[in-house]
Structure 1
């Protein structure tokens, strides 16, 4: 693996963990170091850090709070 690619991975521990979970990426990066931008994108998807995934997670939290509020209102009555 090229030293520049190694330093990028060293600065981002989440990328290292992603590669450990998906070892095929080690092979991809060894053969083609320009794929480092792909690993950044794929690790965001893997860890749920993309905008659509975060919006969905926030929506789920709001829905759960709404259900708790309804439950509290029903208990109060």
Structure 2
């Protein structure tokens, strides 16, 4: 792997963890160092940091709060 890629990965612990869990990316970055942006995108999808995933998580939390409130109001009646 190129030294520039290794230096960049040493500054990004999340990418380093992702590459250790997905060794296919280690091989790919060794052959194609310009695929670093694609690796970052795959890492975001892996960790659930894309915008649609964040919206889904927020929506699930909101539904849970609504359910809890509905249960509380039913018990108080």
Do these two structures clear the TM 0.5 threshold for a shared fold by scoring above it?
yes
Question: Aligned pairs, how many?
Answer: 77
Instruction: Write the mapping of 1:1-12 to structure 2, written as runs, cut at 5 A.
Output: 1-12=1-12
Is residue 55 of structure 2 the alignment partner of residue 49 of structure 1?
no
CA deviations on 1:33-62 (whole Å, 9 max, x unpaired) are 001011100000000000000000000000
1:7 shift after superposition: 1.2
Gaps of at least 5 residues in structure 1 are none
Output the TM-score relative to the length of structure 1.
0.97
How far does residue 73 in structure 1 lie from its aligned partner after superposition? 0.2
Report the CA distance between 1:72 and its aligned residue: 0.3
Structure 2 gaps of 5+ residues are none
In the aligned structure 2, how far is the partner of 1:19 from the partner of 1:2?
15
Q: Normalising by structure 2, report the TM-score.
A: 0.97
Moved over 6 A (4+): none
* 1:38 match: 38
Find the aligned partners of 1:15 and 1:7 in 2 and give their Cα distance: 12
